[in-house]
Chains A and B, each alone.
Chain A
């Protein structure tokens, strides 16, 4: 299982891997906002956490469809399915590798993009923390979509559309926790804990759903 994690991590940073593409897309989305909105620093810092979260959500969706498709294209998926390891565990490990390769770089890049949006230290810290907790949920939800669409050519957009409705709660609680850290009356912990709960919930449900979809995807 460790070997699968290491292999997928290696693949995500080698040529054609998704790690850098996701971060670049994230930067593009967030960097153009100040040009579009104009140099109103107060406005930028007010919408900052939301923009950073939306950018992260979109970039997380970008790489999802490749999670199982590359393995299917070269036949590796067949061999993964044949082994005695429980398939749920295999999928969980693939999700973790996918998050480490595609999600974690977004979290690491987010403070830099927070500066673009004129956010203060507290807001940047809160956004980074909520992204750290929330992006795994996006990967786990996305795994189900990626598994359902694994047999479809050019299923990328379909995966995004399938996954987006389920990803909305993550966005809502992620952004509201980030705001709560900055604005005084709103408490930070309730939305943050709900975000943690969403991630843990999908960490269990996502791999089970994805494994079920993969098992029945046989062409």
Chain B
């Protein structure tokens, strides 16, 4: 496959929450098949870093860049990313099928690589039979699984996952880590903030320290 030359690079990122720097000078370089797991206490800046990488927050310094063979120059890193935040980005009033097919059409294919169909994605997260129900009828765990199915209906090389396993049972955690491994094996890249181990053997780990760490460095 010619996907071999993709890279997500972050250089000297720092970001603010209010007045204070929540992290500074974070650099990483993720290549095909690599993953980065962010750990740290609540409030240590994990979600903020993920939102900066996804292009949803402006970093105070530094930049995130995306390199690949096929990328036109000046392509934003965010366009190569799937972002699964705390909120599921699904409408409670619409059925699961309508939600997923909307995102499938709206996202569009990425450099000619197609995602799986909505039915297959629902099967992959173990909820094949209930895609006709309104999203609001599902339990919190089922909603989270369906939100994860959104990552499968459209291909994006980079997955940014913020606490993907919140509200999930043990079985679903296994399903998720299988899907993540499959994504990495196909030449994907993953960034995740999590408290539970995702069962990835070769993941890089970045320990976030929050305000306290920044202050320690300074003094």
- Determine if B137 is an interface residue (Cβ-Cβ < 8 Å): no
With contact pairs A78-B83, A82-B55, A82-B81 given, residues A11 and B103 touching in the complex (Cβ less than 8 Å): no
- Minimal Cβ-Cβ distance residue in B for A3: B105
Contact B94 A11 (CB under 8 A): yes
Report yes or no: A78 in contact with B88, Cβ–Cβ below 8 A: no
Contact with B along A177-219 (1 / 0, CB 8 A): 0000000000000000000000000000000000000000011
Selecting from A69-77, A104-112, A137-145, the interface stretch reads A69-77
Contact mask for chain B residues 96-121; partner A; CB cutoff 8 A; 1 contact, 0 none: 00100111011100000000000000
B54 and A78 form a contact (CB under 8 A): yes
Closest to A15 in B: B93
The distance in angstroms between the C-alpha atoms of A74 and B90, with both chains bound, is: 7
B41 in the interface (beta carbon within 8 A):
no
Q: Assess whether A10 is in contact with B94, with CB atoms less than 8 Å apart.
A: yes
Per-residue CB proximity of A78-89 to B under 8 Å, as 1/0?
A: 111111100000
Residue in chain A with minimal CB distance to B136: A15
Residues A82 and B102 in contact, CB atoms below 8 Å apart = no
- Cβ A79 vs Cβ B103 within 8 A: yes
Complex Cα distance, B14 from A169, in Å, reads 46
Task: From A75, A84, A218, give the contact of B89 (CB < 8 A).
Answer: A75
Q: Is the CB of B93 within 8 A of A14?
A: yes
A78-B93 in contact given A3-B105, A4-B106, A84-B79 (Cβ < 8 Å): no
Interface class of chain B by DSSP:
loop
Q: Are B91 and A76 in contact (CB under 8 A)?
A: yes
Interface membership of B78, Cβ < 8 A: yes
Report B-chain residues with C-beta under 8 Å of the C-beta of A73.
Answer: 87
Contacts A14-B94, A82-B54, A82-B79 given; does A75 touch B87 at CB 8 Å:
yes
Interface size on B, residues (CB 8 A): 29
We find that the number of chain A residues with CB closer than 8 angstroms to chain B is 25
Cβ of B63 within 8 Å of any chain A Cβ, yes or no, is: no
* A17 contacts the other chain (CB 8 A): yes
Q: Are B89 and A78 within 8 A (Cβ)?
A: yes
Q: Using a CB-CB cutoff of 8 Å, which residues 50-85 of chain B contact chain A?
A: 51, 54-58, 75-76, 78-79, 81, 83, 85
Task: Take A7-B98, A218-B51, A218-B56 as given contacts and tell me if A82 and B91 are in contact as well, using a CB distance cutoff of 8 Å.
Answer: no
A16 at the interface (CB under 8 A from B): yes
List B contacts of A219 (CB < 8 A): 57
Residues of A near B102 (CB, < 8 A) are 3-4, 6-7
**CB pairs A–B below 8 angstroms (25 shown):** A1-B106, A2-B105, A3-B102, A3-B106, A6-B102, A7-B91, A10-B93, A10-B94, A16-B93, A17-B93, A74-B88, A75-B85, A75-B88, A76-B91, A78-B56, A78-B89, A79-B83, A79-B89, A80-B106, A82-B56, A82-B78, A82-B83, A83-B79, A83-B106, A83-B107
- Closest residue of chain B to A79 (Cβ to Cβ) is B89
> With A7-B91, A75-B87 in contact, is A218–B79 under 8 Å at CB?
no
Chain A positions 1-49 with a Cβ under 8 Å from a chain B Cβ: 1-4, 6-7, 10-11, 14-17
Q: Is B86 an interface residue, CB under 8 A from the partner?
A: yes
Q: A3-B106, A4-B106, A84-B76 are in contact. Are A74 and B89 (CB under 8 A)?
A: yes
Q: How far is the CB of B148 from chain A (nearest CB, A)?
A: 13
